Amino acid sequence: MKVLMFGWEFPPHISGGLGTACYGLTKGLANNGVEVLFVMPSATGDEDKSAVSIIDASEIEVSESCRNVRDFLEKVQFIRIGSNLIPYMDPQEFTEMLSNLQQGQIEEFKLGFGQKYKFSGKYGKTLMEEVVRYALVGAEIALRNDFDVIHAHDWLTYLAGVAAKRVSGKPLVVHMHATEFDRSGNNINTEVFDIEKMGMREADRVVAVSHLTRNIILNKYGINPEKVVTVHNAVDFQGFEHLQIDRGVPEKIVTFLGRITYQKGPEYFIEAANKVIKRYPNVRFVMAGNGDLLNRCIRRVAKLGIAHKFHFTGFLRGGEVKQMFAYSDVYVMPSVSEPFGISPLEAMRSNVPTIISKQSGVAEVLRHAIKVDFWDIDAMADSIYALLSYPALSAMSVKHGLNEVNSLKWDAAAYRVSEIYSAIIKK
């Protein structure tokens, strides 16, 4: 079986859990005998190709044969991108983008046939334009290759998946890693919502990463429940070792690692940190990541007077993430709405006791992580204090958490996905 898979990022160049999940799933599919052609907007050549064949969309010349999807693409009008669309940008880039939006609207998508388009593969101010261009290139790739099924990850690639389906007639699976309601609450970007809804309606199957996400798909998007299937993510943290580190500080360390955006709940982490410091002064808090709320979080830490106990690292990747876990005594994921959440699995795999919000998909599969409501900063602070103060509690959490997370294998998740492929191919 061969799959044409559309993604937006792939290790080592990732901005969050999406790239990590794509990597784990493709390795699992390879172990289940599934061949994957993985398309990404811009490949650099250093991607791990042990389990996939990488297709660089920036190297694809759009030919005359692709004209039959032109009508489809012309129906999709992207005039403006909303500010809530870009959680990956740092504050300076975010400010510059807003300024540019005030000066005028983004020009309509134009691409001459017989040309290539150099994708940035980023999440900046031309994101919507790149998403539409990616769909045109996706259709071209579908015409050039043989495959049995199409798989598109997250809204960024749904249009490409739909275009590929329309020109090839092959069945389409779309993977929902995070809905627009997760990213933006009720203040959704309607353009993104429309793409998500269109992609899921056109798909033969929709894979949700949790029951939480599946319920949002059914209730907010009105998708037929018979074609929405939950497949939980897993963890692939090979290469982790008990690193020999010099912490440089005598205090214990509590870590937040993720995008500093509304969805991830960084402000609740700061409020809980303030409460813990008052009771347990022998501690430091680390916020690792970047995003549009970074400046606001820095100002709040300063206003609370805890800057001497609070550190902002910026975005971490690869070995830096493993090193951060090696430094950590407690990991906290206070997400407001988290479709799944791979980072707690990585923390537990790294022998770090973990606290997660009840509003996360990963809470469905973990019994040995402490669970609190994201808004309950008192419960969050109490949980952090308990893990710092009682070594026996921390040790028990580490022991049972490691055993639990080791049972969550990408091979098992990939097997379920391969069964989905087989079912729709036979229809």
Residue whose token pair is 């430094």: 327
Q: Point out the least confidently predicted range of 104-118, 155-169, 238-252, 265-279.
A: 104-118
pLDDT value, residue 79: 30
Q: Write out the chain in H/E/C secondary structure.
A: CEEEEECCCECCECCCHHHHHHHHHHHHHHHCCCEEEEEECCCCCCCCCCCCEEEEHHHCCCCHHHHHHHHHHHCCCCCCCCHHHCCCCCHHHHHHHHHHHHHCCCCCCCCCCCCCCCCCCCCCCCHHHHHHHHHHHHHHHHHHCCCCEEEEEHHHHHHHHHHHHHHHCCCEEEEECCCHHHHHCCCCCHHHHHHHHHHHHHCCEEEECCHHHHHHHHHHHCCCHHHEEECCCCCCCCCCCCCCCCCCCCCEEEEEECCCCHHHCHHHHHHHHHHHHHHCCCEEEEEECCCCCHHHHHHHHHHHCCHHHEEEEECCCCHHHHHHHHHCCEEEECCCCECCCCHHHHHHHCCCCEEEECCEHHHHCCCCCEEECCCCHHHHHHHHHHHHHCHHHHHHHHHHHHHHHCCCCHHHHHHHHHHHHHHHHCC
| pLDDT at 76 (0 to 100) | 42
CATH topology match: 2-234+410-425 vs 252-405: yes
What pLDDT digit, counting tens, does each position of 24-71 carry?
999 999 999 999 999 998 888 888 888 889 999 888 877 654 554 445
Q: Is residue 172 very low, low, confident or very high in pLDDT (cuts 50, 70, 90)?
A: very high
- Between 377 and 400, residue with greater pLDDT: 377
Name the phi and psi angles at 87, rounded to 5. Answer: -75, -10
Residue that wins the pLDDT comparison between 195 and 242: 195
The mean pLDDT value for 316-321 works out to: 83
pLDDT for position 285? 98
The rounded mean pLDDT for the chain is 85
The pLDDT of 68-96, averaged and rounded, is: 47
Fold of 2-234+410-425: Rossmann fold (3.40.50)
| Domain residue ranges of the chain, discontinuous segments joined by + | 2-234+410-425, 252-405
Say if residue 370 is exposed, middle or buried (CB neighbours under 10 Å; 0-12, 13-18, 19+).
Answer: buried
Q: If pLDDT is split at 50, 70 and 90, which confidence band does 183 have?
A: confident
Query: Which of 73-87, 375-389, 397-411 has the lowest average pLDDT?
Result: 73-87
pLDDT of residue 102: 42
pLDDT at 270 over 50: yes
* Alpha carbon distance 331, 402 (integer Å): 14
* CATH number of the 252-405 domain: 3.40.50.2000
Query: Which of 23-27, 159-163, 245-249, 337-341 has the least mean pLDDT?
Result: 245-249
54 burial via Cβ count (<10 Å: 0-12, 13-18, 19+): middle
pLDDT surpassing 50 at residue 78: no
Supply the pLDDT for residue 243: 61
pLDDT of residue 215: 96
